[in-house]
């Protein structure tokens, strides 16, 4: 077993890649309403989701190599193509 110092005390391991599906909270709520009943998290007010998006934007600005921002206000097929292209561009797929 490694000591805490060997693991990097005080550091939190971050993902190698975070895929951020960026979508206006109003559009997200409209899509969800047509799909199913929102759960407790999904039922939060839209300003909550605007703050979450702002947080992701700040983190992506601070560490852009770790983030893949995907414009999710597109067709499902276009979103998938953007994810695949972005993951390839970042070197996670060949």
Asked, for residue 81, whether it belongs to a domain, the answer is yes
Structural domain count of the chain = 1
Model pLDDT, residue 5: 53
Q: Looking up tokens 């700040």, which residue turns up?
A: 58
Asked, for residue 41, whether it belongs to a domain, the answer is yes
Does pTM surpass 0.85?
no
Q: Answer whether 66's CB lies under 8 Å from 14's CB.
A: yes
Segment 5-17 mean pLDDT: 76
Model pLDDT, residue 1: 47
Asked, for residue 2, whether it belongs to a domain, the answer is no
Residue 49 domain boundaries: 16-89
Asked, for residue 36, whether it belongs to a domain, the answer is yes
Model pLDDT, residue 35: 76
Asked, for residue 9, whether it belongs to a domain, the answer is no
Asked, for residue 94, whether it belongs to a domain, the answer is no
Segment 72-78 mean pLDDT: 96
């Amino acid at each position: 077993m490694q000591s805490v110092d060997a693991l990097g005390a005080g550091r939190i391991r971050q993902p190698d890649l975070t895929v951020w599906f960026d979508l206006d909270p109003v559009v997200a709520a409209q899509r969800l309403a047509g799909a199913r009943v929102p759960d407790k998290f999904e039922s939060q007010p839209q300003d909550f989701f605007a703050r979450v998006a702002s947080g992701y934007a700040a983190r992506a600005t601070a560490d852009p190599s770790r983030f893949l921002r995907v414009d999710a206000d597109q067709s499902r097929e276009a979103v998938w193509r953007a994810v695949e292209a972005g993951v390839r561009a970042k070197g996670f797929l060949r």
